[in-house]
């Protein structure tokens, strides 16, 4: 499938790299399909590029490397709708906001994106009664500094 992106230009995307959001995303209900574009092979970051709208791209990240204690209970109806089980576990991502100073990036832990990796279906849920907000700093101490040997 060929899609257009103002950020990436013309992209030839394999159907296996499309995530389907049957309910759309909150605030973007008409957007039901996004190309999943990993930032790099060992990176927790990826982009979601709308298949239909070239100007709509989200930066997402797996939250657990940054927030090891992050957890929430997935409602049974969402789990069932996505076809998840103990044998078919979800992937979880959160949307990242990138301000002018990159070290001040924040993650929306209040509204995670839950993906069934086998079916390539996804939903963004808004957590109720959760201790999370829409802006949690990814690098509260600034970017990690590497020493001369390349260690952190």
Residue with tokens 């159907």: 15
The pTM score is 0.90
d(CA 48, CA 58): 5
Domains of the chain: 2-137 (2.30.290.10)
pLDDT 10s digit of each residue in the chain, 152 long?
999 999 999 999 999 999 999 999 999 999 999 999 999 888 999 999 999 999 999 999 999 999 999 999 999 999 999 999 888 899 999 999 999 998 899 999 999 999 999 999 999 999 998 999 999 999 888 777 765 555 55
Annotate the chain with three-state secondary structure.
CEEEECCCEEEECCHHHEEECCCCECCECCCCEEEEEECCCCCCEEEEEECCCCCCEEEEECCCCCCCCCCCCCCHHHHHHHCCCCCCCCEEEEEEECCCCHHHCEECCCCCEEEECCCCEEEECCCCCCCCCCCEECCCCCCCCCCCCCCC
């Amino acid at each position: 499938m060929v899609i257009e992106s103002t950020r990436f230009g013309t992209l030839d995307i394999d159907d296996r790299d499309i995530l389907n959001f049957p309910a759309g995303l909150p605030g973007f209900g008409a957007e039901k399909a996004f190309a999943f574009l990993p930032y790099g092979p060992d990176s927790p970051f990826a982009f979601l590029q709308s298949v239909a709208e070239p100007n709509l791209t989200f930066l997402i990240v797996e939250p657990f490397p940054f927030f090891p204690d992050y957890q929430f209970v997935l409602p049974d109806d969402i789990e069932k709708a996505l076809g998840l089980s103990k044998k078919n576990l979800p992937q979880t991502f959160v949307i990242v906001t990138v301000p002018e100073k990159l070290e001040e990036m924040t993650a929306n832990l209040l509204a995670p994106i839950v993906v069934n990796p086998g079916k390539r279906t996804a939903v963004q849920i808004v957590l109720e009664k959760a201790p999370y907000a829409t802006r949690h700093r990814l690098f509260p101490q600034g970017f990690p500094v590497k020493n001369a040997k390349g260690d952190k």
